[in-house]
């Protein structure tokens, strides 16, 4: 039988080695538990009954989500500074030594981690603003009532958390195994910025291939059944007013009007489009944050906090977003900046190899690493400038005086 003292010492040794080799799974478990708590509180307490979210309520929730993200930044600082649960130990980081690999593992201190987290959060938050335009188009096309929009966004973000988590950890694994993929990330971001600047996207969600396939091969109805995603009704529901509460109550379906199979309501079609749209935007935004850090914990937490605040951001900006006409050019500049930043970091070590493929004699150069604090200033300054210009600069049609009547 094994000696209990030796077994205890062996457990202590294994635990010490686990802490020294990098972060454990517990930071991710704790973070996901925090996210689940907030989501349950949001849907189960504050939005149990469907109602239209007003500007004041959305603004209050925006403050709550931003404050929560900033408070989590305090945890990031102390967690990496004190190396709680192995945070900051044996962590993936970009190498600026031309003689070494693009990625190395080392120790990340608290202030470096905090700068990376805040820059990543700000980039993801700014890029998610472009998502607001598309969500507004989706809700307008499907004529989603205001009181049901929160439910669509809630479950849309639940799906986005899962999809983005998978994409982030796959991306982190690819970056650590094949560092040359960072070059593809940088090129992709620059091409995306060019596409946004030069090519007008299709503004009709009804022409989207996902919606067209769903309507063609799956049963759908054209009416809403309350806030349900699926219904067996074949006729639109009717409502009566409850004299005691003054609220409208849905009447039971008339006899023989229920179908044997379930059908998708416009609410579920809108949810599909929101999920698909977020997946498309994630393809752009996730490579952008990898330009800041390859640390999966920083990438995951900053990305998720930015997405969690997207619902409140939508209700705040949906009516005001058209006034910030310079916001989209600002997002294009941010994408181009992080793309160039990623190329400056990842491309130089491969110049000699690329030159050999092209029959040219290029020498490998030292990577150019733009400081995270500089990146934070560029992103924040670009957004502030876009908002100020949108307020100050008026269109000619707005500023031109009306012609005097003859």
Name the DSSP letter for residue 393. -
Q: Is the pLDDT of residue 27 over 80?
A: yes
pLDDT value, residue 319: 53
Asked whether the CA dihedral 335, 338, 342, 344 is positive or negative, the reply is positive
Task: Please tell me which residue, 211 or 155, carries the higher pLDDT value.
Answer: 155
Positions of E strands within 39-170:
91-94, 103-106
> What pLDDT does residue 66 have?
92
> pLDDT value at position 130?
67
Question: If you average pLDDT over residues 101-126, what whole number do you get?
Answer: 90
The predicted pLDDT at position 8 comes to 47
Q: Mean pLDDT for the chain?
A: 80
CA distance 241 to 14: 66
User: What's the confidence (pLDDT) of residue 384?
Assistant: 87
More confident residue, 42 or 386: 386
Given a cut of 60, whether residue 387 has pLDDT beyond it is yes
Average pLDDT over residues 353-375: 69
The domain locations on the chain are: 28-201+284-345+373-393
Query: Residue 199 and residue 23: Cα distance in Å, rounded?
Result: 43
Q: pLDDT by residue (tens digit) across 186-229?
A: 888 888 888 778 766 555 666 667 778 888 888 999 898 988 99
Q: What angle do CA 55, 61, 63 make, to 5 degrees?
A: 105
In angstroms, the CA 388 to CA 339 distance is 25
Per-residue pLDDT, averaged over 266-271, amounts to 91
Over its C-alpha atoms, the chain yields an Rg (Å, rounded) of: 25
pLDDT at residue 101, as a whole number: 73
| 108 pLDDT higher than 90 | yes
Mean pLDDT for 120-132 is 81
**Top-ranked range on mean pLDDT: pick from 18-32, 113-127, 358-372:** 113-127
pLDDT of residue 374: 87
Instruction: Supply the pLDDT for residue 104.
Output: 85
pLDDT for the residue numbered 335: 83
Question: Rounded distance, CA 8 to CA 206, Å?
Answer: 64
Q: What is the mean pLDDT of residues 175-186?
A: 85
Does residue 396 carry a pLDDT above 70? no
pLDDT on residue 200: 63
Three-state SS at 237: coil
More confident residue, 156 or 202: 156
Higher pLDDT, 296 or 49: 296
Least confident of 188-202, 273-287, 392-406: 392-406
Residue 324 pLDDT: 72
Decide which of 24 and 183 is more confident.
Answer: 183
Is 90 in contact with 80 (CB distance < 8 Å)?
A: no
In this prediction, residue 118 carries a pLDDT of 94
Residue 20, pLDDT score = 42
Average pLDDT over residues 330-359: 77
Residue 318 has pLDDT above 80, yes or no: no
Q: Has residue 22 got a pLDDT over 50? A: no
């Amino acid at each position: 039988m094994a000696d209990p003292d030796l077994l205890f010492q062996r457990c202590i040794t294994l635990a010490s080695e686990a802490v020294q080799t990098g972060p454990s799974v517990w930071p991710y478990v704790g973070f996901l538990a925090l996210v689940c708590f907030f989501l349950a509180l949001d849907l189960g307490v504050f939005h149990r009954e469907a109602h239209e979210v007003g500007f004041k309520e959305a603004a209050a929730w925006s403050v709550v989500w931003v404050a929560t993200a900033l408070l989590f930044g305090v945890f990031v600082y102390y967690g990496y500074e004190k190396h709680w649960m192995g945070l900051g130990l044996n962590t993936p980081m970009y190498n600026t030594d031309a003689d070494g690999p693009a990625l190395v593992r080392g120790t990340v201190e608290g202030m470096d981690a905090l700068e990376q987290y805040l820059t990543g959060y700000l980039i993801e938050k700014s890029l998610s603003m472009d998502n607001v335009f598309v969500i507004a188009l989706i809700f307008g096309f499907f004529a989603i009532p205001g009181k049901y929009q929160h439910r669509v966004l809630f479950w849309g973000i639940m799906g986005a958390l899962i999809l983005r988590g998978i994409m982030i950890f796959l991306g982190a694994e690819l970056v650590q195994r094949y560092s040359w993929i960072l070059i593809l990330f940088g090129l992709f971001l620059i091409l995306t910025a060019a596409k946004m600047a030069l090519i007008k996207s299709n503004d009709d969600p009804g022409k989207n291939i996902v919606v067209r396939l769903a309507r063609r091969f799956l049963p759908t109805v054209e009416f809403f059944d309350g806030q349900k995603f699926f219904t067996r009704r074949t006729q639109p529901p009717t409502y009566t007013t409850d004299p005691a509460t003054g609220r409208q109550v849905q009447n039971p379906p008339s006899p023989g009007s229920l179908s044997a199979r379930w059908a998708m309501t416009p609410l579920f079609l809108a949810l599909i489009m929101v999920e698909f749209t977020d997946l498309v935007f994630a393809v752009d935004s996730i490579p952008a944050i990898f330009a800041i850090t390859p640390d999966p914990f920083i990438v995951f937490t900053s990305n998720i906090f930015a997405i969690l605040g997207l619902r409140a951001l939508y209700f705040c900006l949906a009516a005001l977003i058209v006034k910030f006409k310079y916001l989209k050019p600002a997002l294009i500049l941010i994408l181009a900046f992080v793309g160039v930043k990623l190329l400056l970091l990842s491309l130089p070590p491969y110049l000699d190899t690329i030159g050999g493929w092209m029959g040219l004699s290029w020498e490998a150069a030292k990577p150019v690493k733009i400081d995270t604090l500089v990146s934070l200033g560029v992103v924040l300054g670009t957004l502030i400038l876009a908002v100020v210009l949108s307020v100050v600069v008026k269109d000619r049609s707005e500023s031109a005086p009306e012609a005097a009547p003859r």
